[in-house]
Amino acid sequence: MNGEPHHPRPVFDFHVRLVPRPGAADRLLEALAACGIDRAVACAGGTIDLPRLSRQLVEGGHVETDADNDAVLGACAASGGRLVPFFFANPHRGAGPYRDRAAEFRGVEVSPAVHGVGLDDPRVADLASVAADEGHPVYVVCLERPGARVSDLVALAARFPEVVFVLGHSGVGNIDFHGVELIEPSRNVLLETSGGYTSVLRAALDRLGPDRVLFGTEFPLQHPAVELAKFAALEVPADQWRKVAWTNAARILGEGPHDVDQDAPAATG
């Protein structure tokens, strides 16, 4: 995507991944800049190869591999504030590794899709407890599997009302209207929009309100231009877009209402 972005800035992408490969951070920053995206929350990628991940989504299974959180920290430190580091927790290791390093990160991700540990597992509750102590948001990838469903996230969020939970990828699959309905009563659960159809996005804006929706892309699995096009197609009003694209992320991360100069050029790598 070249030329001027077709959406108002500033834009904060609440979910991208950094794979531990040479040049990955530069490619990420270049893609964000080309699309007029100013900042992004970065989680580790590459913990599991994609063919195995897709098989696990269908058949079950898990890995016990640790994510490369050090690579994420390094890339974020070198980004001039454009990338915000999240800790990708491995529940098989318990909460200790996250607790020991929580001060270096701004949030935590838990993924039953990768590690296979349900949201009803005491080890995940321990991670949420650390997040509560640190004031961190918890990003969660749900599955249609016992212990990992959106209903399980709702139950976990009820146990930790002081913690902000983010339901990733528009819920389970790309038409999870049910997931939107399930989280609606839970004020501490927000929806991140990568992957879902525009119809689900519209339902989320209508049922949850723009204060509980976060723009995200899941780069490099999805190009940011595709996710931006969903909002453009819906002609989301400017006041709603500003909340989804910037204000909500800044609030959750404890950064307050400040933002960047909307007339300034997008950050480059």
Nearest to residue 46, comparing CAs of 69, 30, 13, 78? 69
Q: What is the DSSP secondary-structure string of the chain?
A: --SS-SSPSP-EEEEEEE-SSTTHHHHHHHHHHHTT--EEEEEE--SS-HHHHHHHHHH-----PPP-HHHHHHHHHTTTTSEEE-EE--GGG-SHHHHHHGGG-S-EEE-HHHH---TTSHHHHHHHHHHHHHT--EEE---SSTTSSHHHHHHHHHH-TTS-EEEGGGSSSS--HHHHHHHTT-TTEEEE-TT--HHHHHHHHHHT-GGGEE----BTTS-HHHHHHHHHHHT--HHHHHIIIIIHHHHHTT-TT----TTSPPP--
The reported pLDDT for the residue numbered 2 is 40
Structural domains in the chain, CATH included, are 12-252 (3.20.20.140)
The reported pLDDT for the residue numbered 53 is 85
Rounded to whole angstroms, the Cα distance separating 87 from 109 reads 6
Q: Show the low-confidence residues of the chain (pLDDT under 50).
A: 1-5, 258-269
The reported pLDDT for the residue numbered 267 is 33
**Token match 């995206």: residue?**
37
Average confidence score pLDDT of the chain: 92
Nearest to residue 228, comparing CAs of 4, 3, 46, 13? 13
Longest dimension (CA), the chain: 49
Q: The whole model's pTM is what?
A: 0.92
